């Protein structure tokens, strides 16, 4: 008989931008609501491949984690800090030196340098115990859904602000009540990820929200670095090289711009000049919306948003990055694309 509690131990491997409603005030801690929200997200992501019906997916989510209408769910979370959270905060000047123009990690932390001051963060190295108490009414199938969500979070997920960019990555160090342990090599990571994807199943076509499907893509890489910040800096620079048109043909202070998306550049410029509207989103919309364009030559500005008004105009990128710690002290990187109708 399985234990009613799944007791897990986690180590923070990339900086965490956590906190509550006012994180700029100095509170950057990891909180239970952030973990619950992450587990709910990955539960929905894995359930689509099995159920293929939004109503059924939300019913399982409500049963496990509760809702405003139904109240408390079948699983309760508790969090304990095992090793102290070392909190850091840059001054504006330090943030500009570390996260400014030409810095890959600055590209990944875009938006966190606010006029009130940079957001504080928790340094890698903090350790946590997360307990998931399963109520007696939980069925074997519901327990299976919960464990799959927990594995998906451990393999692909992060918490906090900029979590899709690789920040707030937690490595599972131990698990009681869960027949799974964190991989130690890049090959082992690939095996475990493939195993989970096989269990989820492939449902063709685009899902209505970010979820695993036949359109999902996974890439693993191992940058030559043993520092978590350096991994994210490496990814940020590669994104700049891939996405940027550059200024005067240059990016990253002198590197030639590849200019891989001339259609995006030219079509948006034509929109800004009032010539024509192609009626489709730029190809780089996969990195999230809105897109803000400024053409230095003509001084034309164009903002590309999703349809709708107000909050409906924003779309998070369906591209997820996660730093993967290896037994040799280095880090690998997972890039997961969960394409969907929403974006």
Write out pLDDT tens, residues 172-188. 999 998 777 778 899 99
How many angstroms separate the CA atoms of 80 and 126, rounded?
A: 11
Q: What is the mean pLDDT of residues 14-18?
A: 89
pLDDT in the model for residue 237: 92
Q: What is the mean pLDDT of residues 80-90?
A: 86
Q: What is the mean pLDDT of residues 14-30?
A: 71
pTM of this prediction exceeds 0.85 = yes
42-56, 111-125, 153-167: the lowest-pLDDT one: 111-125
Q: 48 phi and psi, to 5 degrees?
A: -60, -40
pLDDT in the model for residue 91: 75
pLDDT in the model for residue 276: 81
How many angstroms separate the CA atoms of 152 and 43, rounded?
A: 8
pLDDT in the model for residue 305: 84
Residue 85 scores a pLDDT above 60:
yes
Q: What is the mean pLDDT of the chain?
A: 87
Q: What is the mean pLDDT of residues 261-289?
A: 86
Percent of the chain past pLDDT 70, that is, above it, reads: 92
> Residue 331 in contact with residue 325, Cβ under 8 Å?
yes
Give the pairing of strands 127-134 and 5-12.
Answer: antiparallel
pLDDT in the model for residue 208: 94
Q: What is the token pair recorded at 313?
A: 């105009």
Residue 171: enclosing H or E segment and its boundaries?
A: strand 170-176
Q: What is the mean pLDDT of residues 238-255?
A: 90
Residue 21 scores a pLDDT above 60:
no
Q: What is the token pair recorded at 93?
A: 């000047």
Mapped onto helix, strand or coil, the DSSP state of residue 183 is coil
Residue 288: closest CA among 301, 305, 271: 305
pLDDT band at 20 (very low <50, low <70, confident <90, very high): low
Residue 56 scores a pLDDT above 90:
yes
């Amino acid at each position: 008989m399985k234990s009613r509690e799944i007791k897990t131990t986690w180590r923070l491997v990339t900086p965490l931008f956590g906190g509550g409603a006012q994180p700029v005030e100095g509170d950057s801690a990891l909180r239970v609501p952030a973990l619950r929200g992450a587990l709910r997200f990955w539960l929905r992501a894995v359930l689509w491949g099995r159920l293929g019906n939004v109503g059924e997916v939300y019913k399982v989510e409500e049963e496990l984690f509760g809702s405003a209408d139904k109240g408390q769910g079948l699983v309760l979370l508790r969090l304990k800090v095992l090793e102290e959270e070392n909190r850091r905060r840059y001054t504006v000047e330090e943030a500009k030196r570390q996260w400014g123009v030409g810095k890959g990690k600055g590209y990944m932390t875009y938006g966190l340098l606010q006029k009130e001051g940079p957001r504080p963060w928790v340094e890698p190295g903090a350790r946590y115990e997360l307990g998931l108490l399963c109520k007696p009414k939980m069925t074997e199938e519901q327990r299976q859904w919960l464990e799959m969500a927990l594995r998906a979070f451990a393999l692909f997920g992060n918490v906090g602000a900029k979590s899709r960019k690789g920040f707030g990555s937690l490595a599972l160090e131990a698990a009681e009540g869960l027949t799974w342990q964190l991989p130690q090599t890049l090959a082992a990571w690939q095996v475990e990820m493939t195993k989970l994807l096989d269990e989820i199943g492939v449902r063709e076509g685009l899902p209505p929200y970010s979820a695993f499907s036949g359109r999902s893509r996974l890439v693993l890489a191992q940058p030559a670095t043993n520092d978590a910040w350096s991994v994210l800096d490496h990814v940020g620079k590669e994104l700049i090289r891939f996405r940027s048109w550059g200024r005067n043909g240059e990016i990253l202070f002198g590197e030639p711009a590849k200019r891989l998306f001339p259609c995006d550049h030219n079509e948006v410029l034509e929109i800004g000049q009032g010539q024509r509207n192609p009626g489709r989103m730029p190809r780089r919309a996969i990195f999230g919306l809105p897109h803000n364009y400024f053409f230095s030559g003509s001084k034309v500005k164009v903002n590309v948003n999703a349809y709708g008004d107000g909050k409906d105009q924003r779309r998070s990128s369906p591209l997820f990055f996660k730093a993967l710690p290896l037994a040799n002290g280095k880090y690998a990187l997972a890039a997961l694309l969960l394409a969907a109708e929403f974006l």
